[in-house]
């Protein structure tokens, strides 16, 4: 039976970033870290591809840059029932294709000495007193440390005995040619929250595939928590959106996938094992995934380096670390907002507030782009939002905003 020190299940942004940060902190361990990827690169992953610049900045901390085709983003627009707001901020991110991005990350990990094993799916996990034994197509694999970065249906999460939670979303997307109503400059992420017949939104993001200038158009629809059989038909929602643009869904390759939102009350670790990326849970409001996956990976990699140096495999403190981190504060705030926006009587008041262009929106855009927000501006933005929130019944949001402000770094 082959034995390794650290097995990372899932060769996406979270798993590969965890491997990179661990190998950077403990280069002597690099050849005993294995990333297990079920498919073979370059392989596609369904994803709208929006990547805030903060993700690139995190990777740059360890000297990793991803030179892949992309579309620079300089702002966003959001349409609501009562109007549209456009915010412009230079160089806040880019739209990438996962087929190229993940391959580049895998090559970066290999260049640091990490073993990236393709065609290595994990069917099951068994635990013993010395770690975990993974069942794979190439035979059993023994590991002392296990990281689950294997997405929404995580085999590792299930093996850890952790609940999958209640927040799910169905997503459908297609890549089409541009139409007249698209942003001619191709520099904005466009969101449409005008529909009230389903809990979610529509998007139109500029993208590039094989050198072709395209637009990724999609629908993000949250599933009912009580009865998922009542979920809105995401395919038909996207079809209707395309029809308004003069496009026919049947002309394009439809990509469908699921997402799982972060739930602050759920554990993310057990002795010898932890979760990262969508296996742990991402933004439940918008489904933002790539930057958060990379943040998860950086947190997990640093945490593992410290714990392995101490020869301490009791990882139960990892969940608290995630919750207290910048990533965790962001995710907790979004989770608190979720129930108070979609399918909520508070929605009109929230949208009226957003359309005033409050300072917190600008701060949020800069956060997405990894740009510093002066402490005075940040506190002013958070204070404004915290004062407004109770007026429309968002006391839980106000409390979370205040906690975030108190913990904000200088």
**Neighbouring C-alpha atoms within 13 Å toward the C-beta of 336:** 19
Strand partners, 189: 76
Strands 124-128 and 131-136 come out as: antiparallel
φ/ψ region of 165 (left if φ > 0, alpha if ψ in -120 to 50, else beta) reads left
Tokens read off for 326: 């910048």
- Distance (Å) of CA 356 to CA 82, 86, 103, 192: 11, 11, 42, 17
- Distance (Å) of CA 359 to CA 254, 366, 379: 38, 11, 10
φ/ψ region of 277 (left if φ > 0, alpha if ψ in -120 to 50, else beta) reads left
CB-CB contact of 362 with 89 (8 Å): yes
Q: What distance in Å separates the CA atoms of residue 1 and residue 77, rounded to the nearest whole number?
A: 54
pTM, full prediction: 0.93
The pLDDT assigned to 409 comes to: 43
Provide the sign of the torsion angle of the four alpha carbons 222, 97, 362, 356, taken in this order.
negative
The pLDDT assigned to 231 comes to: 63
If we measure between CA atoms, which residue out of 266, 231, 263, 255 comes closest to residue 49?
255
- From first to last of the 410 residues of the chain, give the pLDDT tens digit: 899 999 999 999 999 999 999 999 999 999 999 999 999 999 999 999 999 999 999 999 999 999 999 999 999 999 999 999 999 999 999 999 999 999 999 999 999 999 999 999 999 999 998 999 999 999 999 999 999 999 999 999 999 999 999 899 999 999 999 999 999 999 999 999 999 999 999 999 999 999 999 999 999 999 865 454 556 899 999 999 999 999 999 999 999 999 999 999 999 999 999 999 999 999 999 999 999 999 999 999 999 999 999 999 999 999 999 999 999 999 998 998 887 899 888 899 889 988 988 787 888 899 999 998 877 777 777 777 667 666 655 555 555 544 554 454 43
If we measure between CA atoms, which residue out of 18, 14, 12 comes closest to residue 303?
18
- Distance (Å) of CA 52 to CA 263, 366, 378: 22, 9, 19
What contacts 17, CB < 8 A, 6 or more positions away? 58, 59, 105, 293, 294, 296, 297, 298, 301
Task: Reduce the DSSP state of residue 74 to 3 states and report it.
Answer: strand
């Amino acid at each position: 039976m082959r034995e390794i020190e650290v097995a990372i299940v899932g060769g996406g942004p979270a798993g590969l970033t965890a491997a990179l940060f661990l190998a950077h902190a403990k280069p002597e361990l690099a050849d005993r870290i294995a990333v297990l990827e079920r498919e073979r690169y370059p392989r596609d992953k369904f994803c709208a591809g929006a990547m805030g610049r903060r993700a690139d900045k995190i990777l740059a901390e360890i000297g990793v840059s991803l030179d892949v085709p992309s579309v620079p983003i300089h702002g966003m627009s959001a349409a609501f029932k009562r109007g549209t707001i456009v915010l412009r901020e230079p160089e806040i991110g880019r739209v990438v294709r996962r087929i190229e991005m993940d391959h580049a990350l895998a090559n970066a990990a290999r260049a640091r000495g990490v073993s990236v094993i393709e065609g290595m799916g994990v069917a099951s996990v068994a635990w013993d007193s010395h770690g975990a034994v993974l069942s794979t197509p190439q035979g059993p694999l023994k590991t002392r440390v296990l990281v689950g970065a294997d997405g929404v249906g995580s085999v590792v999460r299930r093996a850890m005995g952790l609940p999958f939670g209640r927040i799910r979303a169905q997503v459908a997307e297609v890549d089409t040619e541009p139409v007249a109503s698209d942003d001619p400059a191709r520099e904005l992420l466009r969101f449409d929250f005008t529909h009230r017949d389903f809990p979610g939104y529509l998007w139109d993001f500029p993208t590039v595939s094989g050198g072709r200038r395209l637009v990724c158009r999609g629908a993000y629809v949250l599933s009912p928590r009580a009865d998922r059989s009542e979920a809105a038909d995401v395919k038909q929602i996207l079809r209707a959106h395309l029809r308004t643009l003069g496009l026919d869904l049947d002309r394009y390759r439809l990509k469908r996938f699921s997402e799982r939102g972060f739930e602050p009350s759920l554990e993310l670790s057990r002795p010898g094992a932890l979760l990262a990326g969508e296996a742990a849970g991402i933004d439940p409001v918008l489904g933002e995934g790539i930057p958060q996956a990379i943040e998860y990976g950086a947190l997990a990699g640093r945490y593992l380096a410290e714990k392995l140096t101490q020869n301490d495999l009791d990882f139960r403190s990892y969940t608290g670390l995630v919750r207290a981190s910048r990533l965790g504060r962001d995710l907790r705030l979004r989770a608190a907002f979720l129930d108070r926006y979609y399918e909520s009587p508070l929605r009109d008041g929230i949208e009226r507030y957003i359309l005033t262009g409050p300072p917190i929106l600008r701060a949020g855009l800069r956060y997405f782009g990894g740009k510093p927000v002066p402490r005075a501006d940040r506190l002013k933005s958070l204070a404004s939002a915290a004062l407004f929130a109770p007026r429309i019944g968002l006391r839980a949001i106000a409390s979370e905003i205040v906690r975030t402000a108190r913990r904000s770094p200088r």
